[in-house]
Amino acid sequence: MSQDGASAAFDAFRREFLACGSYDLITRDKVDKILAEMQIQNTALIDEKKRAGLGKLLPAGYLVVGQCAKAGQDYMVSVDIINVETGLLVKSEYATGAGADESALIGLARQVVSKLCKP
């Protein structure tokens, strides 16, 4: 999968997620800057115990982590919402679908947002 396809899906996700009005967003650039200042590697996002400690560093209550994947002609977008104070997974949603090209990722990203923004 190309970086452009993943970036397009991320942009669609970010716009739709912000539009749902349930969350305020801090950009990845801001998070990266804070992590760099604290000399914390991105691997800290994987370790549940380290994720919990990020709550004290970030001006946010939740961390949104997602990924795009392709297997054959099938695409998948998955997103986890993590409480940064506890490190616990709060919500997890995904969408899968077949597509002739990476533009399918944009529709899948929108489906995931729709699921995440339901009360």
Task: For each of the domains in the chain, give its residue range(s) and CATH number, in order of start.
Answer: 3-116 (3.40.50)
Is residue 108 within 8 Å of 97, Cβ to Cβ? yes
d(CA 119, CA 113): 12
The per-residue pLDDT for range 79-100, each reduced to its tens digit, is 998 887 788 899 999 999 988 7
How many of the other CB atoms lie within 10 Å of CB of 33?
11
Is this prediction's pTM over 0.95? no
The per-residue pLDDT for range 20-43, each reduced to its tens digit, is 887 777 777 777 776 676 665 555
